[in-house]
Amino acid sequence: MPTDSITLAGLKITSWVGVPPAERAHPQSLEVTVEMVPARGLSGLGDLIENTIDYAVIAQQVQEVAVAQKRRLIETLAEEIADVLLAAHPLRQVTVEVRKFILPHCHHTAVRIRKGRAD
């Protein structure tokens, strides 16, 4: 089983998320980190982008999921991102962390979800 990974760290996105209506009234700045384990690993790619995961495409898909609808929970957003990436790419596993910067006297809150597929 390959253990190679590709990581996008601290991807800056905007999304409507929050439990109180005032929080959902305007989009918030969030950070997303995505760690992906490609199904085939990273060796023998022949230096060709089509043989790996295009992280520019991943970044675009994450932002598209984020702005698709308003949500109450960052947990929901993290799960939706993981589901979209697993469905769209040859990944064995994906870990998504979403950071929110809303609480006073706290750098951030975060959730992390890990999802994968069987062989």
State pLDDT tens for residues 27-70. Answer: 999 999 999 999 888 888 888 888 788 999 999 999 999 999 99
Average pLDDT of span 82-107: 96
Domains and CATH numbers, the chain: 6-116 (3.30.1130.10)
Residue 4: strand, helix, or coil: coil
- The neighbour count for residue 12, using CB atoms within 10 Å, is 10
For the cut 70, the answer to whether the pLDDT of residue 116 exceeds it is yes
pLDDT band at 119 (very low <50, low <70, confident <90, very high): low
Residue 110: strand, helix, or coil: strand
For the cut 80, the answer to whether the pLDDT of residue 2 exceeds it is no
The reported pLDDT for the residue numbered 52 is: 85
What residue spans of 41-110 are helical by DSSP H?
55-67, 74-88
Of 93, 81, 76, the closest CA to residue 11 belongs to: 81
Average pLDDT of span 11-15: 97
For the cut 60, the answer to whether the pLDDT of residue 111 exceeds it is yes
